[in-house]
Amino acid sequence: MLLIPAIDLKDGHCVRLKQGDMDQATTFGEDPAAMALRWVEQGARRLHLVDLNGAFAGKPQNFAAIKSILAAVGEDIPVQLGGGIRDLDTIEKYIDAGLRYVILGTAAVKDALFLKDACSAFGGHIIVGLDAKDGKVATDGWSKLTGHEVVDLGKKYEDYGVESIIYTDIGRDGMLSGINIEATVRLAQALSIPVIASGGLSDLADIERLCAVEDEGVEGVICGRAIYSGDLDFAAAQARADELGEAG
């Protein structure tokens, strides 16, 4: 089970939002590269970046900070990024800079042709982020709820050739209320590509519950507010996940 620390970038700083609200941002660090190295030193084997300004602007806004992270962690640590990625040129720019995975969210839901083209041009590098509430997919920084069912879209994107799906329960994100295990497993069981859980991770018990369903296709979990607030000790949690993985 991969525990993937999230580094959310706003105006070049590391922040956390509460339920995707840019007005409810808590700054956790002024140096994104130092933050990335902190998690790698604690055992992180992948990093999850979000360009928050980019997500709202629809184009990259924190490229300098992202490049500094990529330079700091090197090629051995895969880095994935979402936020404001709306065209193939942007994907190419990021991959050329050393990014391993590009996460498409709103753009994937709204423009199936773009997603198909991205998977065709950059096979193995495209992850789709599905943000949902009560099983329905949301777009535009979570401000719009669509009529699309998560499982239906997941199956369609699997056919397109996406690498994996990040499933976020937006009702829980940033609230430390626990991962929606049931909904995550339902999606993972319907697909043959890996699913990464996101939204609401609160403590070690969540990690243990996720490890119990790893065989269903849940590859990892995004770790956000809990590792910044101290509710979850990241190094101890990854060690516990590895221990459970070996036991399984």
Q: Which of 11, 21, 51, 131 is catalytic?
A: 131
Question: Could you tell me the end-to-end alpha-carbon distance of the chain, in angstroms, rounded to an integer?
Answer: 11
Q: Is 111 considered catalytic here?
A: no
Residue 78 φ then ψ, to 5°: -65, 140
* DSSP for residue 134: T
* Residue 3 buriedness (CB in 10 A; 0-12 / 13-18 / 19+): buried
Q: Is 203 considered catalytic here?
A: no
Tokens (6 digits) for 103: 């996460």
| Residue/partner pairs of 16-24 with CB below 8 Å, 24 or more apart | 16/174, 16/224, 16/225, 16/228, 17/52, 17/174, 18/174, 18/175, 19/142, 19/170, 19/173, 19/174, 19/175, 20/141, 20/142, 20/170, 20/173, 20/174, 22/52, 22/56
Q: Which of 8, 51, 169, 206 is catalytic?
A: 8
Q: Using CA atoms, how far apart are residues 31 and 68, in angstroms rounded to an integer?
A: 9
204: CB partners within 8 A, 6+ apart:
232, 233, 236, 237, 240
The residues annotated as belonging to the active site are 8, 131
